[in-house]
Structure 1
Amino acid sequence: MTFSWTPHRFSGGALALDVANSVVLRADPERRIDRFADPDVMDAFPGGANRYGAERHLFGPLEAVSGDARDGLVDLREAIDRHFRAEVLGAGKPALLADLLEATAAVMRRSGARPRALDTATARSALLLLAQPEPERLKICPNCHWLFLDRSRNRSRAWCDMAVCGNRAKASRHYRRNREEPDP
């Protein structure tokens, strides 16, 4: 089965979150899918981010990471997910912030000469997220559990992507409601 980076895969609202969301069903070890486990899929990610990513205008055209930087990108991805997920859940810890800053620094040291490389841009995006003035805009989708930024005016966005997760939740509610109602 082939995989492609579609607009839905970039619904996080920030490059760092889209990279963190490259792990599908993160909390379910039996069904978990790490999209970056396949080097070809990881190499294709910058192309999708260049087309669909919310921060594509900030970093210019992104480039794939070099082979020796792949592990550093994965380490950064995991540090981003741990820190920001804990923050949303109200369980943020200084150690998680320190891990994120260390992973960011390691990437910047290693690939500083390649400012458009995916790992460098992801590190910069994570730093921008840390500095955002409204941290309450960071949320977790109740359907897929991806991290996303709520950029709506009234901060009422509930899903990472209404067309996918929102519709699935609404269809599920409709199904349950119709199943529970007795036939006339």
Structure 2
Amino acid sequence: MSFAWTAHRFAGGALALDVANSIILRADPERRIDRFADLATMDSFAEAANRFGAESARFGRLSPVAAENRLRLINLREATDRHFRATALAESRADLLADLLEAIAAILRGVAHHGGSLSLDTATAHSALSLAASPEPDRLKICPNCGWLFLDRSRNRSRTWCDMAVCGNRSKAKRHYHRNREEKGE
């Protein structure tokens, strides 16, 4: 199955969250899709992050993850999701932060620059470290439609969905459908 990264896939607001969101339907084991299970899709993520990512200016041009570092990126992705999901739910735990910091350290110990650019795993480690040090954990949210993590950078912190054009519209359409069914007595 062919897959193309789109701007919607980078709705997290930070590279580390976009990487964590590379698992679709994470909470549903039967329908869960790991976009990084296909190595070509993982490789194309770096290029897509260069085009669509919120932190593309910060990191410059990202290069794909070296083959020997792929497992470290997956470990960082999972530690990122566990820690920041708990933070968004106001259930922060020291052990999850420790796991995240260990995953970050494992990547940063072996930093290699490819032609003056950062690799995706190194940039993701920097992004996760910046998020962990953020003084505003209340800006971290979970989309009620898809379950993705995202940063709410709205002035009044009222953002509900990761992407209004996708998840917001789906949620509104679902409510409209159910309201119409109730009105018709179905």
So what's the TM-score if we normalise by structure 1?
A: 0.97
> For residue 156 of structure 1, what is the aligned residue in structure 2?
158
> For residue 59 of structure 2, what is the aligned residue in structure 1?
59
- Structure 2 contact 79–100 (Cα < 8 Å) conserved: yes
Question: Is the partner of 2:141 in helix, strand or coil?
Answer: strand
Question: Is the partner of 1:148 in helix, strand or coil?
Answer: strand
Q: How does 1:109-128 map to 2 (within 5 A)?
A: 109-113=109-113, 116-128=118-130
How far apart are residue 113 of structure 1 and its match? Answer: 4.4
Question: Is the partner of 1:30 in helix, strand or coil?
Answer: coil
- Any unmatched runs of 5+ in structure 1? none
Deviations 1:136-171 (A, max 9, x none): 000000000000000111111000000000000000
For residue 68 of structure 1, what is the amino acid of its counterpart? E
> For residue 94 of structure 2, what is the aligned residue in structure 1?
94
Distance 2:87 2:150 in 1: 12
For residue 155 of structure 1, what is the amino acid of its counterpart? R
> For residue 78 of structure 2, what is the aligned residue in structure 1?
78
Which runs of at least 4 in structure 1 moved beyond 4 Å after TM superposition?
A: 112-115
- Structure 2 contact 86–92 (Cα < 8 Å) conserved: yes
- Any unmatched runs of 5+ in structure 2? none
> For residue 3 of structure 2, what is the aligned residue in structure 1?
3
Question: Is the partner of 2:150 in helix, strand or coil?
Answer: strand
Question: Is the partner of 1:111 in helix, strand or coil?
Answer: coil
> For residue 138 of structure 1, what is the aligned residue in structure 2?
140
How far apart are residue 112 of structure 1 and its match? Answer: 4.5
For residue 151 of structure 1, what is the amino acid of its counterpart? R
> For residue 43 of structure 1, what is the aligned residue in structure 2?
43
How far apart are residue 92 of structure 1 and its match? Answer: 1.3
Question: Is the partner of 2:100 in helix, strand or coil?
Answer: helix
For residue 169 of structure 2, what is the amino acid of its counterpart? N
Distance 2:86 2:159 in 1: 19
Distance 1:52 1:62 in 2: 12
Distance 1:4 1:97 in 2: 32
Distance 1:110 1:35 in 2: 24
Matched, 1:22 2:15: no
Question: Is the partner of 2:63 in helix, strand or coil?
Answer: coil
For residue 142 of structure 2, what is the amino acid of its counterpart? I
